[in-house]
A and B are shown apart, each in its own frame.
Chain A
Amino acid sequence: MNRFAALLDRLVYEPRRNGKIRLIADYFRHVPDPERGWALAALTGALSFRNAKPGLIRQLIAERTDPVLFALSYDYVGDLSETAALMWSTPPHGRNEEPPTLSAVIDAFATLGRGELPALLAGLMDRLDETGRWALLKLITGSLRIGVSARLAKTAVAALSEGTPQEVTPDAVELVWPGLSPPYEALFAWVEGRGAKPETADPAPFRPVMLAHGIEDADFAALNPASYRAEWKWDGIRVQAVRGHDPAGHVVTRLYSRTGEDISGAFPDLADALAFDGVVDGELLVLREGRVQSFNVLQQRLNRKSVTPKLIAEFPAHIRAYDLLVEAGEDLRDQPFDTRRSRLEQLVSRHDGGRLDLSPMIAFSSWEKLAEARADPAAHGAGGDAEAVEGVMLKRADSAYLPGRPKGPWWKWKHDPHSIDAVLMYAQRGHGKRSSFYSDYTFGVWTSEGELVPVGKAYFGFTDAELAEIDRFVRRNTVNRFGPVREVVHTLSEGLVLEVAFEGLARSTRHRSGLAMRFPRIARLRWDKPPAEADRLETLERLLKAEAPSPPEARSANSASSPQPEP
């Protein structure tokens, strides 16, 4: 597994999506079956190692090192797995043994008996190099962070078909994926043009989701309102609900995030209630007494690790349906939107499991009328759910359901975001192409005591020209340096005011201001404005109260593993 570890080590540092794909594809090209298949399983999260606790690593390393030297080293490195991997002294005989393959490691863990873990781990460590030991410890403690999604790994698999007569797209890999299991030999044979397309045996597979482009004012001129249908864009989690049956007739229900992650486990109440045969695209929302709750409320359910009956009762999950992809085995994705919509309306009206309703269409005759509806959803059909409306979706009446984000058939027209004027406080260098630019900004607003407190961080929204301007400002107005971070001048009279746009606010214990923004971005540079005239914290407090009428203690938004709403 030294080769796989080297790949992980490289991925840790590679910021670019394309760079990651090339690195993974290169690994797949040079490593034979079944080793590469186990690597694919590890990258897509299809493997679950018997978890080792940090205590075990501590114990193993303590048996082999001087306590003072370990303490000094751990203090210096700051990461237990890495310290142990680096300090581990390989015994002389360890060098003569072949390093274990990833397959062998997985095998050993799968057949592990009670109490055998410490000896197994030590034996593997003896035979691996530093990077191999690091990767092994990260894998078995479940703390590997390499920024590779399952989708990205599958895209790298698809890349293997480049140059073969039959090119395979990432979506095609996605389609066959649910029926496959490690080490995926049939999949590799297919993408490399050596074998037939693997048959999916999964009764409830994921279908790649169709996404919309954001619409700009200039786009409307080219669009005919009569060719489009409009519906609300709900502020929840985009999901795909799939129900099917296996050859034995057992019904299988799955909920997928828009990236194809199976999130059924987090919503057993919803999965149990669904009673259709097909694939529904919709928005997952929390409804209480028939009313859609804000995203903040949904977030509270997402933040909980264990799904208890109390949680389910407090945060009942629903699906508001947008589209119907498959019904009773019939694939509707090639059909026009209007046809799919009427099939969906019939399906929902027949549905008696509850928890599923229809996202209503918005009647409009012109773009001006639609703009009115968008500005006031409550008066245009959204009623008491209006607060959960994030904007409007436009779908061409004849549009097929296509994977990805094709330009033209679907548009999203989001709410005008909130915006505030904030003062730039700190800037950090970016990564990849931006590593010579200060491109990550921490900004703050004034408290009533006249102190500037940070309220958020933004690293997009600006043009390349604006980036260059801010970068110049940062370099010329640095007052302090902390590694890659610079503090810039921010007094009442000196500093840079940024107009920051954002989608929403939530309470947060992570920021000193007690607030966290959703999707903050730099909307404009306000060179004209002195920092003294930037916004105050009270403004944000008021906004938060208006946004979330009764926010109970929001847990720190650790949503790394939770499904994300479509940005």
Chain B
Amino acid sequence: MRPEDLLISTPQGLYSPAGDFHVDPTRPVPRAVITHGHSDHARAGHGAVLASRETLDIMAIRYGADFTRQRQPAAFGERVEVNGVGITLHPAGHILGSAQVAIDWKGMRIVASGDYKPGADPTCVPFEPMRCDVFISEATFGLPVFRHPDPAQETAKLLSSLELFPERAHLVGAYPLGKAQRVMALLRAAGHDRPIYLHGAMEKLTAYYAREGIALGEVRLTRDAKPAELAGNVIICPPGAMTDIWSRRFPDPVTAFASGWMRIRARARQNGVELPLIISDHADWDDLQHAILATGCQELWVTHGQEDALVHWALLAGMRARPLHLVGYGEEEAEAATATEGEAPGSGATGSGATGSGVEA
């Protein structure tokens, strides 16, 4: 039996012919398994969705309760059968609710890992390596120039800037789901106990994290704040809003940006960032290697990102490896990197469907 009998790549995303379901499809399909709530992986309009309870909640917040006809929550480690094919979710450590999907059939196991990171993150369950025959990995940061520093060190940069420029607000661009809340958690872990101010696009998702028991401290909305009270405080907003008209209300802010892309100076400068914070929710080059080797897989499929370099490494390491050339993924970080204007409200990639980055309702 070949792995392709169990899972293939199609224009809609990964598809299991044996089980008749898609993983993270980019277009509406009858049955989808969703790894996590980022808009490039989780889209509205599928007939049935199997995902972690948190991912289903996040999709309902972003797209409305009717985002699918049938929700099927699965707990981590719980095996579900669909048309005789086994599906088991395991933690991916990417954002709250993020999962790897282990698919088994007739003794073969393929793990589609979605987006993942092995590093510590207080806002989600840690990544667990799964043994498998074929491992499917992303490669967003799949180049040896990407070695993410300790996020605590990056948080310290932000705090020392607050100390040095106490009269200026610090505007931190961060993806509204996951990154924003992780930055808050990192600030709290570093002892920052002042209120953290939020752009409206993050309000509902952040409230959801809090309801799920993730301590983020006192959070306020910028629209309720007077400009003077923002001096010396952290404001978190979607990346697009930093260069948007929205940001003009803050007098002379320090503009920071939390993203793995900030490792590359030209990328940071291109976006006019003054304080690049290298904080990523994706595996870096070393993480990718360790994670792949830990699966014991004989074959690696690479979905999106810097697939050439990762495939090259895997071949050198004695695996079979190939890129899948899936399109439509990686927008969550790519969006951050280009920091588009966010003038088109509610564009799926920019933020929550209800509140686009540009419009703070």
Interface residues of A (CB under 8 A from B): 10, 12-15, 19, 22-23, 26, 65-66, 68-69, 72-73, 76-79, 82-83, 86-87, 129-130, 429-433, 435-436, 475, 481, 483-484
Report the stretch among B202-210, B218-226, B258-266, B348-356 that lies at the interface: B258-266
For chain B residues 275-294, which have a beta carbon within 8 Å of chain A?
A: 275-276
Give the nearest-CB partner of B243 in chain A. A436
With an 8 A cutoff between CB atoms, is B149 at the interface? yes
Q: B272 and A72: CB pair below 8 A?
A: no
Chain B hits for A129, CB < 8 A: 149
Chain B contacts for A433, CB-based, 8 A: 252
Q: Among B145, B269, B316, B341, which residue has the most Cβ atoms of chain A within 10 A? A: B145
B191 on the A face (CB < 8 A):
no
Inter-chain contacts of B244 with A (CB < 8 A): 436
Contact assessment for B145 and A73 in the assembled complex, using a CB-CB cutoff below 8 Å: yes
Q: Which of B246-265 contact A (CB under 8 A)?
A: 247-248, 252, 255, 263-265
User: Which residues of chain A have C-beta atoms less than 8 A from B276's C-beta?
Assistant: 13
Interface size on B, residues (CB 8 A): 39
- In the assembled complex, 19 residue pairs joining A and B whose CB atoms fall closer than 8 Å, in A order, are A12-B265, A12-B269, A68-B312, A69-B144, A69-B313, A72-B308, A72-B312, A73-B145, A76-B143, A76-B264, A76-B306, A77-B266, A430-B272, A431-B272, A435-B255, A483-B338, A484-B243, A484-B271, A484-B272
Q: Is the CB of B164 within 8 A of A23?
A: yes
Closest 5 interchain pairs by CB?
A86-B145, A435-B272, A73-B145, A72-B309, A13-B274
Of chain A, the residue at the smallest CB distance from B269 is A13
A435 and B242 in contact, given A13-B268, A69-B143, A483-B338 (Cβ under 8 angstroms): yes
Query: Do A130 and B273 form a contact, CB below 8 Å, given A69-B313, A79-B265, A436-B248?
Result: no
Q: Considering residues B144, B270, B276, B306, which has the most beta carbons from chain A within 10 angstroms of its beta carbon?
A: B144
- Identify B264's interface contact among A22, A77, A432, A435, CB under 8 A: A77
Alpha-carbon distance A478/B272, docked complex (angstroms): 20
| Chain A residues within an 8 Å CB radius of B268 | 13
Residues of A within 8 A of B243 (CB): 429, 435-436, 484
Known: A76-B306, A435-B255, A436-B243. Is A484-B270 also a contact (CB below 8 A)?
yes
Evaluate contact between A22 and B164: CB separation under 8 angstroms: yes
Also in contact, A78 and B266, with CB within 8 A (given A86-B145, A86-B147, A130-B149):
yes
B245 at the interface (CB under 8 A from A): yes
With the chains together, A435 CA to B165 CA distance in Å?
18
Distance of A76 Cα from B309 Cα, bound (Å) = 11
Check B274–A14 contact: CB distance below 8 A: yes
> Which of A13, A86, A430, A481 is packed against the most chain B CB atoms within 10 Å?
A13
Which of chain B's residues has its CB closest to A68's CB? Answer: B312
Pick from A15, A73, A79, A83: contact of B274, CB under 8 Å: A15
What is the interface of chain A mostly: helix, strand, loop, or mixed?
helix
Residue B343, interface by CB 8 Å: yes
How far apart sit A72 and B142, CA to CA, in the bound complex (Å)?
10
Interface core residue of A12, A23, A435 (most chain B CB under 10 Å)? A435
CB-contact partner of A87 in B145, B149, B338, under 8 A: B145
Which chain B positions have C-beta within 8 A of A73? 143-145, 309
Contacts of B316 in A (CB 8 A): 66
* Closest Cβ neighbor of A129 among chain B residues: B149
* 19 additional contacts (CB under 8 A) given A72-B309, A79-B266, A481-B340: A10-B275, A15-B274, A69-B144, A69-B309, A73-B143, A82-B265, A83-B145, A87-B144, A87-B145, A430-B272, A432-B274, A435-B243, A435-B247, A435-B255, A435-B272, A436-B242, A436-B245, A475-B341, A483-B270
A384 → chain B, closest Cβ, in Å? Answer: 48
Residues of chain A within 8 A of B242, CB atoms compared: 435-436
Complex interface bits, B294-338 against A, C-beta within 8 A gives 1, otherwise 0: 000000000000101100110010000000000000000000001
CA distance A248 to B121 in the complex (A): 69
Determine how close the nearest CB of chain B comes to the CB of A469; give it in whole angstroms: 14
Contacts of A86 in B (CB 8 A): 144-147, 263
**Assembled-state Cα–Cα distance A22/B167 (Å):** 13
Distance between A470 CB and nearest chain B CB, rounded to angstroms: 14
B347 CB to nearest chain A CB (Å): 14
Please give me the residue from chain A that is nearest to B343 by CB atom: A475
Which B residues from 74 to 109 make CB contacts under 8 A with A?
none
Find the A residue at minimum CB distance from B265: A82
Pick from B149, B247, B265 the residue with the most CB of A within 10 Å: B265
By a CB distance below 8 angstroms, the chain B residues around A435 are: 242-243, 247, 255, 272
Q: Which residue of B lies closest to A483 (CB)?
A: B270
Interface centre among A12, A15, A436, by most chain B C-beta atoms within 10 angstroms, is A436
Report which of B143, B164, B265, B269 forms a contact with A72, defined as CB distance below 8 A. Answer: B143
How far, in whole Å, are A479 and B337 apart by their CA atoms in the complex? 21
Residues of B within 8 A of A436 (CB): 242-245, 247-248
State the CA gap A78–B343 with chains docked (Å): 30
